[in-house]
Structure 1
């Protein structure tokens, strides 16, 4: 068969039904190799990217594959290149070829990348999907492919030098995941150029980060000039200017310790943009612990930088690996934007991922600036793998990190009395604010009223009677079901609102807008009572300002965040009040309960006379870190490269990825039928109909992010079983009867597990 007859992809016209000219296999291999080499060149690994691209689809030269892709019928034909064990496989042939070309470790490095370019990076050992098993049984696949007429230059490549991070058994797995990202993104992009050529012209139209810098600082200058000349605003300006000056320092790892309300969101972005200008950084990634405030921060950044300058990327609607198809693969995000606003879950689970759609973006982390907003929210059980990856990304791949919080966690090394390292951590972290303790005193705007008896509990009924006496109050509780129970006990007179993560982002945004409007009316003289009951989602940066805040007993860091919603703008003649109470039920088991118990322990020992002082916060985190293991799931060991005569390079990529779950009960994103005021019907139906026609439209997926809720997997399955969730356009969709205008997604109480009630 002539080499031009070998096919990589085919597609059918949506309207006429005619078949387009096929995507030639040789052309695909050469283009993917060129793209992959270019992307890997950003971390001095272009030769590795080139070879992986040339060989990734060698298995498609098999006669069996060519027959399959030509004989498959209907839309399935467009998905024929998406490998499935039930179909004719093609990814292992290139892996064997890499080992034959480059014996020992270099060949196995490339083999992992090629073998995983559809199903994800494999483990070395284990089930039938392991690399060891696949290599043992794929001889016929390789020999059949080699019977084809393949240009000699496609089959040969000069073995590249091994770069520094690949020479270390602890860091080689991260380097390989970045290489894998280059390969799969290049594969996706070249496939898209054939499947949807009209979209190629849309790429590369976003502004460069350097273009945004002058726009941002001009807006900030105008904002500061228009702001009232108050002590608080003068302090915020000083913080911003300190960040701008510090941006000239060499890249590395920074901390920005600023009390809530000090303007650290814009100050940290100012640091990042100036740092990017000084040091030629490529993009800024702003990671937030909760999806609940992504929309708020993204809206602020768009106001400063323009609508098209910000990519807002949740994790709630990522495609499940078991349901990938041609459209969903093209819709996966690659973070090719100057400013990305995302979640900690999306950032770190991607950094440790094995599957293609999650890994696709990783190479765009190279030479970037990553701001971790509310850094104290990094789960302690993952401190060691996260800090190890952060340190490696900083040392080897040009990433500058900014740990941005009011309550800095302890992410440094842990050593024993003899100086031996118990746990790795961050080295050489530079604090941007030189005197955080003095700044904390300067920005103090609240008094914390801790319980006189930490063991004395209060019922929701008794608490509601206290709240009735407050004309304007925010109450923050630990669980979704607690928020609902308390809300139902409060009187309907005045304005009463509920917030939890059972509500989609669009729903929450509209409720928060109403709350801010009511707060504004009260400042203008309205005496109408305003009471808000929320889960902890309101704590991480949500811009509201109450004179009184009640907080259910929690970790000291959470109490500090709740305090940030009290007298936020310093308008009260005296300090605001933050009242901490002990509900009858403890927080859910696990980290949240441990944090609350540490706070109570410090309270009993008399160490919380000034609960928000740096000394109290340090004592809290020091005690909390002793309550568990900083690498609970032994992820660092799974990603450490082992070598033996039978296994030159053994790494458990998939097992590590499966265990790296920042949320214990893996969430499932569901689309909800929220209908905003002013709409006759929910816009979700229209968007789902569009995805039924073409599942690769990224802008539609992004629209649906704001109409999605992440449910614990156990709860989602139960709702699906009772018919409250159905499938449409590759999404799980909630029936309208199960989305309440106040609570959001609702299910019978008997179906709500304890873990689903958090946030």
Structure 2
């Protein structure tokens, strides 16, 4: 009771000491030009020292000991920010801009960011009264005893009630002047640098604060320990695998050697690995990333983390399996310090090996370690990566500093929406300059985000495309066809396998039904997001095992699904999607494959128009309509032409608005004609409103839902969240997302659609998945 606490039964002094230590450690492990300056180090240290000084008032101390306290009076961040400002203003070598921004860092370290201008308009009489009440409730003797360890000057000039009250009065008086300064700055600033540096400093505090409270207090592990990874790891793996010779493997080996031997100049920050589908880009990407990691360590004295970013969860699972195989084949014990997967369905499990003993952390620690990207190699989604860079959310910003000095692999880079190309290019340039980030774009279809002279090509892509003759592409897009017309003109050969990829689920279901009139159902299967993930994965494995000759699918098979067919039919789509579809045809070059592009319509409009913007569809149509046959060796020049023309037709309006929002630190608020807030960034367009439906497909699903109901009934919200997180991955294996507008809806239970085993026949087709339309139920 005689000591100020920051957390239950934990001294404020120890917490401040730990946060200061971690923030400094996170800062000094980076090698960045701007962080070498003394004023930055002073700023980081003082942000850490003062971020929780507001916890010294009795209202917070009562709250932390379990007593009931007013919601407003128990707060601490705002008071901490006022006291911080009164102290930091004495440093003349720190620019006013960074004093004002650091005020926001301290004020918002438990919340999301707002428009920075608005932060200085909220100083009403009620806020002033609240702060004075909190100051009145501070035991300054205890406070000085706590802080004299960090600020020896307090032994002669201790904190006083008058000092704190004057800090509040002074900043209230200065607030209008600060707002005028901000208005001028917003009008004059034309750089992304302040945004990047601000998020970096903010993330240092967020990570240090959460890590000290949730990890260091439990004495789990040291953040200074890093894992060694040999730069020859992939070569050793390939040697041990000793794959048999084939023409396609010979080409893969040629590309791998080219990447292994390409000279590395760490002055270059942007690299491209463009190879045809099925040419081993995953291993090649890791090979170059490890070589680059070693070169950066040698020349700059810093060990980069590798962030491997992918657009789809299915590819993350595949890539994770590849990584585990690489390490285990090389007799390396795998733990999460070595590599981890992070996405919205990640299992919160984190283990590490120390002195040949494996230690498993509890859920809360694992969550912090995983969400903080505490690993050498991080496998993550585009959503996690891009929403860490373009965000106002506290939880996401926390890991931003991990991008410093990192090697970032963007796999399937063409999945970045073209409306964001400009803002992504400008942001990546700034991250390269300010945070010393390195980017490797890995794809079969590199979009024209960067000019060719801005990026280092690791291989000459045209030579690999020209060397391939696995498939021929036949465009049939001059005329639209209905599904009936399309099926009636089909001539399927008995000895060949066929994949049909169409643009909407309704189209896919109707096509399947029409094909079933001509083909034995046992030889066919169906894939779409109306089928729960567990069942989709089971069918994909059956396809790999050769069980089905005919597969009808939506775009769920286009990237990252390693299946192979003799013939692929693709409904009209953007050219990069068509090329991805072609990658499911004759992948290993065993015999000539055929890809046919058709233009399907529902009688009113093309199905493509329901999914894709007309700019990309019309451009693809114009490039294909006069072609009779396109050889795989011609794909490269065709896709180059497509992206070149797309970049000229692109509307950069949203990118420009977002850039204006970033430059004016407009984190949240209303969109205007000139700018949109950073919070409006959406990598995935929300599209139509959907709701989740749990489908009780089997006994395991029944047990999972019973467990879900038990978890939902837990009264403690934190324990409830923790228990659900532990089962989330398995729970969502049985969940599909359905448009809210469908007329045929299941009962809603605990906020989610629920189809139990007795309702399956009414709501679920065992082949086609969720029934969006009623078939006349009898109750």
- Bin the TM-score by the shorter chain: 0.7 to 0.9
Counting only pairs closer than 5 Å after superposition, residues 54-133 of structure 1 correspond to structure 2 as: 54-72=49-67, 88-103=74-89, 104-126=96-118, 130=119, 132-133=121-122
1:239 to 251, 255, 259: 255
d(CA) in 2 for partners of 1:623, 1:318: 42
Residue 445 of structure 2 aligns to a residue whose secondary structure is coil
Question: Which residue does 1:514 correspond to in 2?
Answer: 542
Please say if 1:282 is aligned against 2:300: no
Counting only pairs closer than 5 Å after superposition, residues 23-42 of structure 1 correspond to structure 2 as: 23-41=10-28, 42=30
Over 3 Å counting, the alpha-carbon distance change for 1:35 and 1:600 in structure 2 is same
Residue deviations 1:125-179, cap 9 Å, x none?
Answer: 45xxx45426886434444454522235589699xxxxxxxx9842111121122
Question: Which residue does 2:618 correspond to in 1?
Answer: 597
Counting only pairs closer than 5 Å after superposition, residues 455-604 of structure 1 correspond to structure 2 as: 455-459=479-483, 462-463=486-487, 466=490, 469=493, 471-491=496-516, 492-518=520-546, 530-572=549-591, 575-584=592-601, 585-589=606-610, 591-604=612-625
Residue deviations 1:245-275, cap 9 Å, x none?
Answer: 2373325110011011111111111111222
Question: Please, which runs of 5 or more residues in structure 1 have no aligned partner?
Answer: 11-21, 74-79, 159-166, 320-324, 414-425, 520-528, 642-649, 751-759
Over 3 Å counting, the alpha-carbon distance change for 1:741 and 1:344 in structure 2 is farther
Question: Which residue does 1:622 correspond to in 2?
Answer: 644
Residue 121 of structure 1 aligns to a residue whose secondary structure is coil
User: Max radius of gyration: which structure?
Assistant: 2
d(CA) in 1 for partners of 2:765, 2:151: 62
d(CA) in 1 for partners of 2:483, 2:467: 36
Residue 480 of structure 2 aligns to a residue whose secondary structure is coil
d(CA) in 2 for partners of 1:432, 1:218: 21
Question: Which residue does 1:652 correspond to in 2?
Answer: 667
- TM-superposed deviation, 1:488: 3.2
Residue 620 of structure 2 aligns to a residue whose secondary structure is helix
Corresponding residue pairs, total: 666
1:428 to 444, 454, 472: 454
Please say if 1:746 is aligned against 2:770: yes
Contact 1:328–1:695, Cα closer than 8 Å, also in 2: no
Counting only pairs closer than 5 Å after superposition, residues 605-616 of structure 1 correspond to structure 2 as: 612-616=634-638
d(CA) in 2 for partners of 1:550, 1:157: 75
Question: Which residue does 1:291 correspond to in 2?
Answer: 313
Please say if 1:305 is aligned against 2:319: no
d(CA) in 1 for partners of 2:345, 2:609: 22
Question: Which residue does 2:359 correspond to in 1?
Answer: none
Contact 1:673–1:707, Cα closer than 8 Å, also in 2: no
- TM-superposed deviation, 1:32: 1.5
Please say if 1:662 is aligned against 2:660: no
Counting only pairs closer than 5 Å after superposition, residues 96-495 of structure 1 correspond to structure 2 as: 96-103=82-89, 104-126=96-118, 130=119, 132-133=121-122, 138-147=127-136, 148=138, 149=140, 150-151=143-144, 152=147, 169-193=191-215, 197=218, 200-201=219-220, 208=227, 210-211=228-229, 213-223=231-241, 225=242, 227-246=243-262, 248-250=264-266, 251-280=268-297, 281-306=303-328, 308=335, 309-315=338-344, 330=368, 333-412=371-450, 428-433=454-459, 435-451=460-476, 453-459=477-483, 462-463=486-487, 466=490, 469=493, 471-491=496-516, 492-495=520-523
Contact 1:287–1:343, Cα closer than 8 Å, also in 2: yes
Contact 1:554–1:596, Cα closer than 8 Å, also in 2: yes
- TM-superposed deviation, 1:88: 3.6
d(CA) in 1 for partners of 2:259, 2:265: 10
Question: Which residue does 1:51 correspond to in 2?
Answer: 46
TM-score, length of structure 1 as denominator length: 0.78
Residue 521 of structure 2 aligns to a residue whose secondary structure is coil
- TM-superposed deviation, 1:700: 2.5
d(CA) in 2 for partners of 1:507, 1:134: 56
Bigger drift between 545-554 and 269-278 goes to 269-278
d(CA) in 1 for partners of 2:732, 2:263: 33
d(CA) in 2 for partners of 1:701, 1:441: 48
Contact 2:6–2:12, Cα closer than 8 Å, also in 1: yes
Q: CA RMSD in A?
A: 3.9
Contact 1:391–1:427, Cα closer than 8 Å, also in 2: no
- TM-superposed deviation, 1:686: 4.8
Residue 8 of structure 1 aligns to a residue whose secondary structure is strand
Contact 1:477–1:535, Cα closer than 8 Å, also in 2: yes
d(CA) in 1 for partners of 2:195, 2:772: 45
Residue 110 of structure 1 aligns to a residue whose secondary structure is helix
Question: Which residue does 1:419 correspond to in 2?
Answer: none
Question: Which residue does 1:163 correspond to in 2?
Answer: none
d(CA) in 1 for partners of 2:691, 2:106: 30
Contact 1:554–1:593, Cα closer than 8 Å, also in 2: no
Residue 410 of structure 2 aligns to a residue whose secondary structure is strand
Over 3 Å counting, the alpha-carbon distance change for 1:366 and 1:205 in structure 2 is closer
d(CA) in 1 for partners of 2:617, 2:387: 26
Over 3 Å counting, the alpha-carbon distance change for 1:140 and 1:594 in structure 2 is same
Contact 2:469–2:631, Cα closer than 8 Å, also in 1: no
Over 3 Å counting, the alpha-carbon distance change for 1:95 and 1:681 in structure 2 is same
- TM-superposed deviation, 1:552: 0.8
d(CA) in 1 for partners of 2:222, 2:529: 33
Residue 304 of structure 1 aligns to a residue whose secondary structure is helix
d(CA) in 2 for partners of 1:274, 1:346: 25
